[in-house]
Amino acid sequence: MLLCSRLELGFYDIPSSTEFGSTTSTIEYCCTTAEKLVEEQRKFDTLIALEVIEHVADAAEFCKSLSALTAHEGATVVSTINRSMRSYATAIVAAEYLLQWLPKGTHQWSSFLTPEELTKILKCAGVDVKEMAGFVYNPLTGSWSLLDDISVNFIAYGTKEK
């Protein structure tokens, strides 16, 4: 029985992912695109796209693919970075240049979406956003926390419309 599929846009996460899943055969790992899975007519009860949408060429088309891959009344979860001055300061200046947690040029501020833009794009793709929250990383504890502030990182949960 297949319980989970993990899709990676790049090959860099697959080796660590397969180590995690080596004790079970219920996880399928593939390096492909959402569009290719749509062509294969795949469907998922829950689709999670974490920190991906700000790296795709066309966010609206990507969301249409996510919707096409989500089963009827299934869940779609998307996390991204808000296009705000605070996100520019933290996600680009701090994370890429000062702390060097990410390679310089990883993010383009113009590719970030506001919560309103993401909600509209998902709605047009047939996904009704039900809930949204911010989240923050604490480097001292190495943990993430949910919060009400969506000015930098945020996550949206929606369901596939009929």
The count of structural domains within the chain is: 2
User: CA torsion angle for 120, 124, 129, 134 (degrees, to 10)?
Assistant: -40
Decide if pLDDT at 8 tops 70.
Answer: no
Domain that holds residue 58: 40-160
Decide if pLDDT at 3 tops 90.
Answer: no
**pLDDT per residue over 98-146, tens digit each?**
999 999 999 999 999 999 999 999 999 999 999 999 999 898 999 999 9
Q: How far apart are CA 108 and CA 9, in angstroms?
A: 18
Q: Which residue has the tokens 């705000």?
A: 84
User: What pTM was estimated for this model as a whole?
Assistant: 0.85
- The residues, any chain, with a CB within 8 Å of residue 142's CB and separated by 6 or more, are none
Q: Are residues 63 and 101 in the same domain?
A: yes
**pLDDT per residue over 12-50, tens digit each?**
454 555 555 555 566 777 778 888 889 999 999 998 899
DSSP string, 3-41: -EEEEESSGGGHHHHHHHGGG-SSEEEEE--HHHHHHTT
Q: Are residues 49 and 24 in the same domain?
A: no
